[in-house]
Amino acid sequence: MDKTISQKNYCEKQVVKRVTSKLLICISILIISFNSCESYEFGKEKEEVSVSAEFTSNINLNGKWHRGTRVTGNTWDKNDAIGIFAINSGEILKDASIYNDYFNIKYITLTSNNFSDFIATDEDIIYPFNKEILDFVAYYPYKTPINNYTLPIDISKQSPLSDIDIMYATATEHNIDNPDVLLNFSHQLAKLQLSLTAEDNISLDGAVVSFENVLVQGSMNLVDGAINNGEVVDSIIPEIQYNSINNELTVTAIMLPNQNLENINVNILLSDNSNYSWNPGQYILTQNTRLKFSLNLTPTLVELKSSNSSILDWDDIVEDQIIDIQPDYPDSSGDLPDEEEVPTGGTIDNPYTVSGAILKQGETSVWVEGYIMGYAIKTIGEPNTLGTDPSHDQSDYNIVLADDTLKTDLGLMLPVMFSVDTQSNTDAKQNLNLKTNNNLIGEKVKILCDLAEYLKVPGGRNITVYEILGSEG
């Protein structure tokens, strides 16, 4: 009996042990399963709190921000691309401030629409999970590679204008609680626009327009949007639109700011081979500004109908005043010879006198001889004056020649501009400018130059070769 009871107790213990083991195994499986589900749920929760930056854009027009408006019209075009940098809040753009390697991230528009947002072409910019605040720097149009946070600029090719309409924007203090980023873009370059009309017997159809002596290369500092001009000078062909109904031309070019238009020549060649040349005068192009001139062509001259500039947009107000900008050849009271009396000359052995050069405007690469009287000072709206003070800011722009040192009538003198092409006239400008060579006043020189309107009077341009002959007597 005792043995039987003992065996029974043993069997019961074994059963309890097996049940306990199975129970423990089940509990372990449940715990593992619970942990796996918990881990999955936690991971899913983390994925849900990943927040991307969402970018929309404005353009500064007429002092106000207009959503989506762009250089070529009132819409962004499909696939327009911008570059975006994400940086730690409050820091400037540099390697150490870039957040999570978000360097020059490309965003594009998918549709042509006033209200088209930008989307990333590869990776979205994701905000930090810890609600850290970010700032953003953006530019248009997108370029790669970007070196030293500098965007190269080349405006030598003007068509399409949208490809060279450099824009810049910043935005600050965004995180996962404030993810939508509005980029307020501003135009960083300038625009020069000519509206051309003509007399009834002159057709503008097929006209070719070029701008000469234009600065064509520069760069934008992506840290602050500042434009730095280079030294390369070339001619450009602006965009031209012809209105056959009104026989009008609209000529448009995007230009580097901070250059003086008095150095730029506008050449207009008509289909009948008639050629017009015009100089805007002393206007300084500024960022985000359009400078507009309205011109009228006649059989003998170019008329300036109006001029104006508009800040912060590509529009302006046209004035009705008509101003003749053809060179005003002076009433010389007999000092200037008749043109037929000027002998053939312009050679190194037989240079033109100053009075002869005044009457031979339009000739190129000719020699002129005269005495240096000073330099011409141009003030907008005022007649030219003669300067001799080397400290004046225009003392290295040009020299003024006369046939003798006793001349006092500016109408009998010839202002000659140094070429803006530094490759061709470095030596001439360096050795003839009166800022550093004021001792040359009264000295006789012989120069090789082009005879062309300068400062709205008969003048010379582009001194390439020169000889200093000495003082009078």
Q: What is the pLDDT of residue 406?
A: 85
Architecture of domain 190-324: Sandwich (2.60)
Instruction: Give the position of tokens 């927040």.
Output: 51
- Distance, CA of 37 to CA of 41 (rounded, Å): 6
Contact in structure between 441 and 373 (CB atoms under 8 Å): yes
Q: What is the pLDDT of residue 397?
A: 85
- Distance, CA of 137 to CA of 224 (rounded, Å): 9
Would you give the DSSP letter of residue 313?
S
- Distance, CA of 330 to CA of 326 (rounded, Å): 12
Q: What is the pLDDT of residue 372?
A: 96
Q: What is the pLDDT of residue 407?
A: 77
Structure tokens at 78: 């499909």
Structure tokens at 40: 């999955």
Q: E strand or H helix at 221, and its extent?
A: strand 217-221
Contact in structure between 287 and 224 (CB atoms under 8 Å): no
Q: What is the pLDDT of residue 435?
A: 92
- Residue 225: CB atoms within 10 A of its CB come to 18
- Distance, CA of 22 to CA of 14 (rounded, Å): 12
Q: What is the pLDDT of residue 99?
A: 96
Give the count of alpha carbons within 13 A of 433, CB side only: 19
Which one is the CATH code of 54-187: 1.10.287.3610, 3.40.1190.20, 2.60.40.2620, 1.20.1250.20?
Answer: 2.60.40.2620
- Distance, CA of 390 to CA of 242 (rounded, Å): 47
Structure tokens at 302: 């170019």
Contact in structure between 380 and 323 (CB atoms under 8 Å): no
Which three-class secondary structure state does DSSP give residue 429? helix
- Residue 12: CB atoms within 10 A of its CB come to 10
Would you give the DSSP letter of residue 264?
-
Which one is the CATH code of 339-471: 1.20.120.330, 3.40.640.10, 2.60.200.30, 2.40.50.200?
Answer: 2.40.50.200
Cite the beta strand spans of 378-439 per DSSP E: 385-387, 398-402, 414-417
Q: What is the pLDDT of residue 378?
A: 77
Q: What is the pLDDT of residue 166?
A: 92
Q: How far is CA 335 from CA 127, 279, 407, in A?
A: 79, 27, 10
Q: Residues 13, 18, 19, CA angle at the centre, nearest 5°?
A: 100
Digit-by-digit pLDDT tens for the chain (473 residues) are 444 444 445 445 454 445 455 555 555 545 444 444 443 333 333 445 688 888 887 554 444 444 444 544 445 777 889 999 999 999 999 999 999 999 999 999 876 654 557 889 988 999 999 999 999 999 999 999 999 999 999 999 998 888 999 989 899 999 999 998 888 888 899 999 998 888 878 889 999 999 999 999 999 999 999 999 999 999 999 999 999 898 999 999 999 999 988 889 999 988 888 888 888 887 888 888 888 888 888 776 666 655 544 333 443 423 333 333 332 333 444 455 555 555 568 999 999 999 999 988 889 899 999 999 999 987 655 678 899 999 988 888 899 999 988 877 888 899 998 875 544 456 788 899 999 999 999 999 999 999 988 887 889 988 989 999 987 55
What residues contact 418, with CB distance under 8 A and at least 6 apart? 396, 397, 398, 399, 425, 428, 429, 432, 433, 462, 463
Q: E strand or H helix at 172, and its extent?
A: strand 167-174
- Residue 446: CB atoms within 10 A of its CB come to 17
